């Protein structure tokens, strides 16, 4: 049979990977490190000769490794977890990423590297490896400790921010410039994409999977899951995003399915197979000569990663109200980079905007920091003691005062409830706005693909988009009214407007939503410029819409309510299982 080369390659990869894995397990080192070294051993740059003949096919399979790694990450991620990790994780992850991208960029520039190389370097240094850190904590039996939960929180937020970074980097690499409007537009589109994908996905996918799972055929469930996963990756790819992003989002959607356990069981061996190939393929690209050549940058960047992450994460966790000991533990637990760095490096390489040396440097720094991870975690307390002794008393006092001040800021009782309500309303308004935006963007996209657009067509298309959006617009208005009433209640104290207080409150609670709707209207007009009909037709469309609104107002509220309930059911069903 043909394809002997391919079988040979796979045989060599799996054999060496198996051997090194067993060895690394004996040495109590992460398996991932074993894969990288297995790749180095059989790679083309190490004597006696290359054992891999068909590198292109291996790289294709390695790409599937990215898909399955990100998909699994998505499966482990859940929207509910995201809401629970709270402010500390958000602050720490943001501080870490901003600081590390900046330091990485500056270090790169200091080495005399090109702007794009430096930017990608910063991005590569900013994200820690969920896989490796979770495994390290697991092996050290620390998974249940408080600081470990904080670490997981930071990792989850990091994953989300990394997704945004992937999209941003693609945009910057393609346009070649970093402009604030560009960044805004990219992030805005990304937010719309993620929101629409999550809402539509959560409404459809878990129900579809439940239907398929009725058959009790694991094969059918697997094929369906893979079909949806690859289908969505393809969709993301067509919209200009990476497959990694697509796989992560659809994984997060499936995480809310009631059959999550079965799906994880089915995907696990496939992910392990392809991720082994992925990591070995990365090792294949390692050229020891390049590593020696860049020994100094690698050493320096390793120090940058460890010190930078300990400081930035630790500070972030401390600022958001944790004691110094916990902060240090979290910081030292996160001082590491991994698979995301490889994915970012691969992105740069495939877009042809980065130099060849970036990939091996990322791999080398990752390998060294991965080796250090268990020791850093174990050494956190000792380091804390040493630092505590070295610290001047004044500094320690300032830190203590800060903690007290922060604690006094916390909202309590009624205020906390109120803040929660406002937050929820704002979230709902934002989600609905994004859905409306997505509908009009979709309409505009359709319009652009119909050549010689007549005004009548435009009017019909725009009208259809408006009709589809109406339930969401109605919902936005109703939420805004509720918000305005709440704000009026708080903001306009009883004694302020005297006897007119109720009237003033009512006025405010009507004015705010109307003003907001006008703003949304302008936003829609801007998004749908390509299909915006001329004024006379626009008035007609709006008149029809208004008429429909008057007649079908109740139906629209009902439709929206039903969708919202279905969504909440999906999110809650899962927690019961």
Q: Could you give the CA distance from residue 171 to residue 179 in angstroms, rounded to a whole number?
A: 10
Q: By C-beta, is 111 or 235 nearer to a copy of itself?
A: 235
SS (H, E, C) 455-470: HHHHHHHHHHHHHHHH
Residue showing tokens 């995201």: 82
When asked if residue 6 is in the footprint of a copy of itself (CB under 8 A), the reply is yes
Identify residues 234-263 at the interface with a copy of itself (CB under 8 A).
Answer: 234, 237, 242-244
50 binds a copy of itself (CB under 8 A): no
Residues in contact with a copy of itself, total (CB under 8 A)?
Answer: 60
Q: How many CB atoms lie within 10 A of CB 209?
A: 23
Angle at 217 between CA 211 and CA 222, to 5 degrees: 80
Q: Identify the residue whose tokens are 């289908």.
A: 231
| Sole window of 44-52, 321-329, 343-351, 495-503 interacting with a copy of itself (rule: CB under 8 A) | 343-351
| Interface with a copy of itself in residues 347-366 (CB under 8 A) | 347, 350
From 80-88, 270-278, 491-499, 505-513, give the range in contact with a copy of itself by CB under 8 A: 270-278
Q: In this chain, which of 98, 187, 222, 566 binds a copy of itself, going by CB under 8 A?
A: 222
Among 29, 72, 130, 224, binds a copy of itself (CB under 8 A): 224
> How far from chain centre, in Å, is Cα 520?
27
Radius of gyration, alpha carbons of the chain: 27
Beta-carbon-side half-sphere exposure of residue 139 (alpha carbons within 13 Å): 18
CB burial of 220-257 (b: ≥16 within 10 Å; e: otherwise) equals ebbebbbebbbebbeebeeeebbbbbbbbbbbbbbbbb
**Pick from 82, 273, 544, 563: which binds a copy of itself (CB under 8 A)?**
273
Tell me how far apart the alpha carbons of residues 42 and 36 are, in angstroms, rounded to a whole number: 10
Is 265 or 415 the residue whose CB approaches a copy of itself more closely? 265
Q: Which lies closer to a copy of itself via its Cβ, residue 25 or residue 562?
A: 25
Q: How many CB atoms lie within 10 A of CB 143?
A: 13
Shorter beta-carbon distance to a copy of itself: residue 90 or 277:
277
According to the binding rule CB under 8 A, does residue 134 interact with a copy of itself?
Answer: no
Contact between 4 and a copy of itself by CB under 8 A: the answer reads: yes
Q: Is 270 in the site for a copy of itself (CB under 8 A)?
A: yes
Q: Which of residues 173 and 461 has its CB atom nearest to a copy of itself in the complex?
A: 173
- Residue 212 interacts with a copy of itself (CB under 8 A): yes or no: yes
Q: Does 1 bind a copy of itself (CB under 8 A)?
A: yes
Residue 17 binds to a copy of itself (criterion: CB under 8 A): yes
Helix (H, G, I), strand (E, B) or coil at 412: coil
CB of 175 to a copy of itself, least distance (A): 18
| Residue 352 burial (CB count, 10 A) | 7
Cβ neighbours for 219, distance < 8 A, ≥ 6 positions apart: none
- C-alpha span between 128 and 470 (Å, rounded): 43
Among 53, 175, 179, 215, binds a copy of itself (CB under 8 A): 215
Q: Give the nearest distance from C-beta 314 to a copy of itself in angstroms.
A: 31
Which residue intervals of 286-357 are DSSP H helices?
288-293, 295-319, 324-333, 339-350
Q: Which of 21, 129, 336, 432 binds a copy of itself (CB under 8 A)?
A: 21
Out of 146, 227, 420, 491, name the contact with a copy of itself by CB under 8 A: 227
DSSP state of 534: P
* Backbone region of residue 478 per phi and psi (left: phi > 0; alpha: psi in -120 to 50; beta: other values): alpha
Q: Is 211 or 402 the residue whose CB approaches a copy of itself more closely?
A: 211
Smallest gap from Cβ 67 to a copy of itself, in A, equals 7
Q: What angle do CA 234, 245, 30 make, to 5 degrees?
A: 120
Stretch that binds a copy of itself, among 71-79, 95-103, 228-236, 486-494 (CB under 8 A): 228-236
DSSP assignment of 213-258 equals HTT--HHHHHHHHHHHHHHHHHHHHHTT--HHHHHHHHHHHHTTST
Out of 30, 52, 63, 441, point to the residue binding a copy of itself (CB under 8 A): 63
Residue 203 engages a copy of itself in binding (rule: CB under 8 A): no
What does each C-alpha distance from 330 to 104, 137, 153, 271 come to in angstroms? 21, 11, 10, 28
Please identify, among the stretches 105-113, 207-215, 315-323, 445-453, the one whose residues bind a copy of itself according to the rule CB under 8 A. 207-215
**Position 217 contacts a copy of itself (CB under 8 A):** yes
Smallest gap from Cβ 127 to a copy of itself, in A, equals 17
Compute CA distances 266 → 87, 134, 507, whole Å: 34, 21, 58
From the list 75, 93, 137, 266, which residue makes contact with a copy of itself (rule: CB under 8 A)?
Answer: 266
Please report, to the nearest 10 degrees, the dihedral formed by the alpha carbons of residues 163, 164, 167, 173 taken in order: -110
Could you tell me the smallest distance in angstroms from the CB atom of residue 63 to a copy of itself? 5
One of 22, 185, 427, 518 touching a copy of itself (CB under 8 A): 22
- For residues 171-190, which are near a copy of itself according to CB under 8 A? none
Closest to a copy of itself by CB, 135 vs 510, is: 135
**At 335, is the secondary structure helix, strand, or coil?**
coil
Q: What residues make contact with a copy of itself under the rule CB under 8 A?
A: 1-4, 6-8, 10-12, 14-19, 21-22, 25, 31, 57, 59-60, 63-64, 67, 211-212, 215, 217-220, 222-224, 226-231, 233-234, 237, 242-244, 265-270, 272-273, 276, 346-347, 350
């Amino acid at each position: 049979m043909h394809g002997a080369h391919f079988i040979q390659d796979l045989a060599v990869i799996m054999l060496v990977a198996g051997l090194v894995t067993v060895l690394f397990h004996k040495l109590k080192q992460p398996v991932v490190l074993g894969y990288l070294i297995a790749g180095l051993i059989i790679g083309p740059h190490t004597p006696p000769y290359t054992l891999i003949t068909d590198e292109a096919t291996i790289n294709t399979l390695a790409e599937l490794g990215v898909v399955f790694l990100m998909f699994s990450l998505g499966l482990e991620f859940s929207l509910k977890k995201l809401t629970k990790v709270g402010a500390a994780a958000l602050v720490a992850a943001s501080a870490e990423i901003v600081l590390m991208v900046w330091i990485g960029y500056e270090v790169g520039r200091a080495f005399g590297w090109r702007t794009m190389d430096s930017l990608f370097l910063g991005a590569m240094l900013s994200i820690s490896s969920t896989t490796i850190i979770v495994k390290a904590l697991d092996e050290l039996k620390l998974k249940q400790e408080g600081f470990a939960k904080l670490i997981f929180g930071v990792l989850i937020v990091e994953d989300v921010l990394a997704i945004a970074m992937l999209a941003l980097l693609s945009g910057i690499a393609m346009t070649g410039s970093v402009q604030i409007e560009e960044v805004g537009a990219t992030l805005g589109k990304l937010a719309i994409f993620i929101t629409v994908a999550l809402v539509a996905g959560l409404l459809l996918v878990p129900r579809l999977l439940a239907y398929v799972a009725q058959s009790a055929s694991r094969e059918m469930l697997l094929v369906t899951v893979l079909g949806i996963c690859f289908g969505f990756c393809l969709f993301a790819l067509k919209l200009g995003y990476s497959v990694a992003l697509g796989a992560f989002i659809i994984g997060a959607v499936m995480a809310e399915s009631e059959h999550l356990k079965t799906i994880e069981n089915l995907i696990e061996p496939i992910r392990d197979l392809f991720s082994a190939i992925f990591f070995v393929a990365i090792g294949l690209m390692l050229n020891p000569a390049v590593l020696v050549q860049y020994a100094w940058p690698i050493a320096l960047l390793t120090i940058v990663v460890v010190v930078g992450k300990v400081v930035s994460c630790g500070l972030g966790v401390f600022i958001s109200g944790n004691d110094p000991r916990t902060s240090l533990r979290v910081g030292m637990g996160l001082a590491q980079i991994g698979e995301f760095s490889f994915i970012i490096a691969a992105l740069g390489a495939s877009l042809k905007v980065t130099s060849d040396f970036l990939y091996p440097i990322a791999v080398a720094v990752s390998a060294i920091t991965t080796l250090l991870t268990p020791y850093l975690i174990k050494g956190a307390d000792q380091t804390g003691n040493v630092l505590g002794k070295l610290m001047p008393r004044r500094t320690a006092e300032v830190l203590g005062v800060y903690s007290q001040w922060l604690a006094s800021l916390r909202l309590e009782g009624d205020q906390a409830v109120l803040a929660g309500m406002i937050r929820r309303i704002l979230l709902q308004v934002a989600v609905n706005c994004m859905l409306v935006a997505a509908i009009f963007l979709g309409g505009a996209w359709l319009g652009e693909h119909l050549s010689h657009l007549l005004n009548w067509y435009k009017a019909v298309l725009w009208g259809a988009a408006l009709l589809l959006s109406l339930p969401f617009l109605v919902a936005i208005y109703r939420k805004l009214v509720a918000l305005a009433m709440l704000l009026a209640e708080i903001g306009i104290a009883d004694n302020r407007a005297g006897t007119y207080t109720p009237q003033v409150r009512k006025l405010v609670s009507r004015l705010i939503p109307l003003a907001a709707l006008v703003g949304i209207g302008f936003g829609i007009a801007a998004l749908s410029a390509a299909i915006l009909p001329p004024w006379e037709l626009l008035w007609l469309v709006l008149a029809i819409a208004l008429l429909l609104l008057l007649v079908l107002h109740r139906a629209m509220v009902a439709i929206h309510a039903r969708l919202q309930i279905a969504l909440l059911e999906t999110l809650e069903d899962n927690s019961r299982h």
